[in-house]
Structure 1
Amino acid sequence: MIKRVNVVHIDLVDRDIYATTGPPHEQLAWLRANSPVHWHEGEPGFWAVTRYEDVVHVSRHSDRFSSYKKLALFEELTQDQIDLQRHMMLNQDPPEHTRRRSLVNRGFTPRTIGALEDHIRDICDDLLDKCTGEVDFVTEVAAPLPLYVICELIGAPVADRDKLFTWSNRMIGSQDPDYSETPEVGSAAAMEVYAYANELATRRRGTPKNDIVTKLLQPNEHGETLDQDEFNLFILLLAVAGNETTRNAASGGMLTLFEHPDQWGRLVADPTLAKTAADEIVRWVSPVNLFRRTSTTDQVLGGQEIKADDKVVVFYASANRDPAVFSDPEVFDITRDPNPHIGFGGGGAHFCLGNHLAKLELRILFEQLARRRPKLRQTGPARRLRSNFINGIKELPVTVG
């Protein structure tokens, strides 16, 4: 039986709210305290999971909360669309997800990621060298950084970064008029990335290189490999997940530091704080706001009776400010330690594959910003992405001092 709670107004999906103020933290705080597993009206309605403990529970029990049945994204799709997207790792459950992930893990070993540190630092320095006068931090710094790194990972020409940038914007921003006029534009962009991946695989089979693409196309020690569709879909996922998380953590983090000048001052005074600052930025910004799961059985969560096939949505932006886990969660503190945020997922099968790479990119970027651009200042209002999925910044005007 659903426990109804009388509230004035709860709307966690209105994209216009996110475009104006970002995640609705006041509503989320009320829900954590009063209705942590809340029946949210809609077509269809869904269970909004806002407390850290419950988000982690859902994340770690793929057998009870499936990514496969109705996919991991919030929107409702046709059965044909569901059948197609089930081939993507994001929308799979163990054991198939486990098999696929074990194959792609080969390209994301700590040794592989660690070897990129000097290259990432060079990229950051190059980007900052080119920033003079008034620029848009998003397009000149936050967006190019992960795109350069992705091009390096997959052995693609750096010139391809602009294509990846456009395709990613169209896929993620399908509800934002600046990027896509219709959802079909996002679907078309996905097909372009798919075709691009297909061409990339063909070239690499003919000319192997020391990059992640070559590794993923080779059999593992058991003779298993990704088939062509699996490979194409992984590159599609990498082009979005490997780009958007870092990009929006970087731009959201810079905006947050402008809004907390005392913390920016601390970082400038001691750039080595960039390591803990990167984690705090991910906690505070929560670049991925939510994911959807589908209940596989009748069960109880947070005192609520959830039925099989019910839609369940976890809100990372809420869990990352849960006072049961974080002391003074509404305080932005770049020295926060420990910091058990779940900005890369709540654990379990779908914990972010590229979390170490994202942390490395953010640490180096903010360290170099503090060292080389200590007088950086905001010169105009930030413009937010119209999305309830990605907590994104589209534009952040800055002056480079």
Structure 2
Amino acid sequence: MEINLVDQDHYARDGAPHEQLKWLRDNDPVFWHEGDEQRGWPGFWAITKHEDVVHVSRNSDLFSSAKKLALFNEVPEEQLELQRLMMLNQDPPEHTRRRSLVNRGFTPRQINALESHIRDICHGLIDEVAGKGAIDFVTDVAAPLPLYVICELLGAPVEDRDKLFQWSNRMIGAEDPDYAGAPTDGADAAMEVYAYANKLAAERREQPRPDIVTKLLQPDENGETLSESEFDLFVLLLVVAGNETTRNAASGGMLTLFEHPDQWERLVRDHSLTRTAADEIVRWVSPVNLFRRTATRDTVLRGKHIKEGDKVVVFYSSANRDEDVFAAPASFDIARDPNPHIGFGGGGAHFCLGNHLAKLELRVLFEVVTERLPNLRQTGEAKRLRSNFINGIKTLPVEV
């Protein structure tokens, strides 16, 4: 079988290449994938089994996020130092310090306190579309929800949600014709986020408020604080990660429920299933498709000799359909329990900080949608994002 796991046109057309990923799990789970000199990226080891993705994720000393960063594309040497200030691109102990500072705003207790507010947001979104007939589920429902929540977390005015949406699209959608602008557009959007974060920080230092920004700017019990650059990069990470994952899990989940009408009917009949449905949606959609690591020393995985400096890429879309871990992994089952998916990462230092929040948003959203719009139906073809990093849906036409 011809293997190409990074062909963005395939992702735009069909989503993740599940047929290829299954073949690799069965035949060559630690696979040397040829590079592309024209596009400037080297060959890499493709890791497709659940057990191995977890192994790579939990051994930061062996598989580094900082050495060449965590995203797939190569970054010029002169940009590495700045990017390493972002938690995503750090290894312990630096990552441990930063995460302990940021964790203060994301405790389960603080997240659970948002439930009634998230429910109000969801009802408000449905109120806005209820009389419209034809809508786009992505731009009218799935995208605004996490943007409202991010504004709430940052203590930012809700009118800023459109700016956050545009910034995120420009940074993530650089390879998509609907979102791509000038070659520097993604970097320009990032600079605009930094300026926005600086303005927020200045306002909170002048007038502290009961929000995450104020909390993160205050010293912790050891007197530690985030530097200006660290805070700016945290806001950037929140704008992208906090938006893209929930938005694409919600829109991908809705599309999947349309494709599995029996599961939609189950959810409409029994709202208690939204708890397990949220995890099954994340498993099935795998909003983040891959992350990159770099080997810090020679090692062996399933008999393959990985050399120091080799690029290693873990595929969550594959791990979440591993036949050795999931019963009937090719079946979408909203009551699946247990569900040891790794849609929020394979554990270890980089397990998703916002996993509680994302699951809460998904659970409440689908409770409200099934309650308020039980006859919702798809009216046109979904358009997928041209990206091998995010399994994204750009548009999903529906009728209310």
Coarse TM-score class (shorter-chain normalised) = over 0.9
Partner of 2:161: 161
1:12 match: 5
Equivalent-residue separation in structure 2 for 1:355 and 1:90 (angstroms): 15
Q: Secondary structure at the match of 2:53?
A: helix
Q: Secondary structure at the match of 1:294?
A: strand
For 1:238-387, what aligned pairs fall within 5 Å after superposition?
238-387=238-387
Q: Which ranges in structure 2 are unaligned for 5 or more consecutive residues?
A: 37-41
Compute the TM-score of the two structures, normalised by the length of structure 2: 0.98
- Aligned residue in 2 for 1:120: 118
- Conserved in 2, the CA contact under 8 Å of 1:175 and 1:182? no
Go from structure 1 to structure 2 and tell me whether the alpha carbon gap of 1:71 and 1:183 turns closer, same or farther (over 3 Å shift): farther
Which residue of structure 1 aligns with residue 392 of structure 2? Answer: 392
1:108 paired residue number: 106
Amino acid of the structure 2 residue aligned with 1:298: D
Match of 2:19 in 1: 26
Q: CA deviation at 1:83?
A: 2.0
The share of aligned pairs that are identical, in percent, is 75
Residue 120 of structure 1 aligns with an amino acid whose one-letter code is I
TM-score, normalised to structure 1's length? 0.97
Instruction: Give the structure 2 partner of residue 191 of structure 1.
Output: 191
Which position in structure 2 is the counterpart of 1:94?
92
**SS of alignment partner, residue 184 of structure 2:** helix
State the shift of 1:182 in Å: 4.0
TM-fit CA distance, 1:205: 0.4
Describe the SS at the equivalent of 2:149: helix
Contact 1:287–1:390, Cα closer than 8 Å, also in 2: yes
- Residue 62 of structure 1 is matched in structure 2 by 60
**Residues 143-167 of structure 1: CA deviation (Å, up to 9, x unaligned):** 0000000000110000000000000
**Within 5 A, what are the aligned runs for 1:204-223?**
204-223=204-223
CA contact (8 A) 1:142 1:250 kept: yes
Which of 50, 53, 72 pairs up with 2:51?
53
Q: Which amino acid aligns with 1:85?
A: Q
After the TM superposition, which residues 221-236 of structure 1 pair with which residues of structure 2 at under 5 Å, given as runs?
Answer: 221-236=221-236
**Residue 337 of structure 1: CA displacement?**
0.2
CA distance in structure 1 between the aligned counterparts of 2:316 and 2:58, rounded to whole angstroms: 14
- 1:78-93 matches, within 5 Å, as 78-93=76-91
Residue by residue over 1:119-170, the C-alpha shift from the partner in whole angstroms, topping out at 9 and shown as x without a partner, is 0000000001111300000000000000000000110000000000000000
Structure 1 position 264, deviation (Å): 0.2
CA deviations on 1:290-335 (whole Å, 9 max, x unpaired) are 0000000000012210000000000000000001000000000000
Residue in 2 that maps onto 1:5? none
The 1-side partners of 2:272 and 2:223 are apart by: 44
Q: Name the SS of the counterpart of 2:342 in structure 1.
A: coil
Secondary structure of the corresponding residue to residue 240 of structure 2: helix
For the 8 Å contact 1:175–1:183, the answer to whether it is kept is no
| Match of residue 72, structure 1, among 62, 70, 73 | 70
Matching of residue 38 in structure 1 with residue 31 in structure 2: yes
Any idea what the Cα deviations from partners look like across 1:276-302, whole Å, max 9, x if unmatched?
000000000000000000000000012
Q: Is the 8 A contact 2:170 2:181 kept in 1?
A: no
Cα deviation for residue 60 of structure 1 reads 0.1
1:272, distance to aligned residue in structure 2 (A):
1.4
Give a deviation string over 1:191-242, Cα, whole Å, max 9, x none: 1001100110000100100000000000001111101110010000000000
What is the Cα deviation at residue 183 of structure 1? 3.9
By how many angstroms is 1:257 displaced?
0.1
The number of residue pairs the alignment matches comes to: 393
Distance (Å, rounded) in 2 between the aligned partners of 1:381 and 1:110:
37
Cα distance in structure 2, aligned partners of 1:306 and 1:229 = 34
Structure 1 position 87, deviation (Å): 1.1
Q: Is the 1:204–1:213 Cα contact (8 Å) retained in structure 2?
A: yes
Structure 1 gaps, min length 5: 1-7
Q: Which amino acid aligns with 2:122?
A: C
Checking the alignment, whether the CA contact within 8 Å between 1:246 and 1:362 is kept in structure 2 is yes
Partner SS for 1:291: strand
